[in-house]
Amino acid sequence: MKTVQQIIASKSAEIYAVTSTTSVFDALTMMMDKNISALLIIDNEELCGIFTERDYARKVILQGKSSKSALIHEVMTPDPITIMATDSIDYCMTLMTNKHIRHLPVVEGKKIIAMVSIGDIVKFIIEDQKQIISQLESYIHQ
């Protein structure tokens, strides 16, 4: 069974986060600088939300709010769904599909250890399938 731990091992361990009192503009600036589409919201070392491009489109732009005056806590998705490193890739795909989400914070107890995106999962599956195909081709040619 393939697990989230295998994805985490193959990607950067950096976690990008802001506090709930960060302006939406500053959060977007960080997202642009880091080339990411979601930020974790952490207050007092505790995960309290997630802010995504989808949140921006639906809760800022379409609501006519100003990115410079709106604060993250006003537009973030509170209490995001989390996973553990021991969870299976299949479980994550099912969760993302059923809940219509693209990012899953990975926690160990209450500590955030990573963030996994749908892109990370797809990339992992493609690489895994390439490896399986290569092994099967080697087996056939023996």
For residue 12, the model assigns a pLDDT of: 82
Is there a contact between 38 and 52 (Cβ–Cβ < 8 Å)? yes
Which element (helix H / strand E) includes 64? none
Tokens of 54: 């989808």
Residue 39 β-bridge partners: 51
Regions in the chain scoring below 50 on pLDDT: none
How many CB atoms neighbour CB 79 within 10 A? Answer: 10
**Fold that domain 4-140 belongs to in CATH:** CBS-domain (3.10.580)
What is the per-residue pLDDT for 81? 97
Instruction: Note the pLDDT of residue 38.
Output: 97
Do 51 and 41 meet the contact criterion of CB atoms below 8 Å apart?
yes
Domains of the chain, residue spans: 4-140
pTM strictly above 0.85 = yes
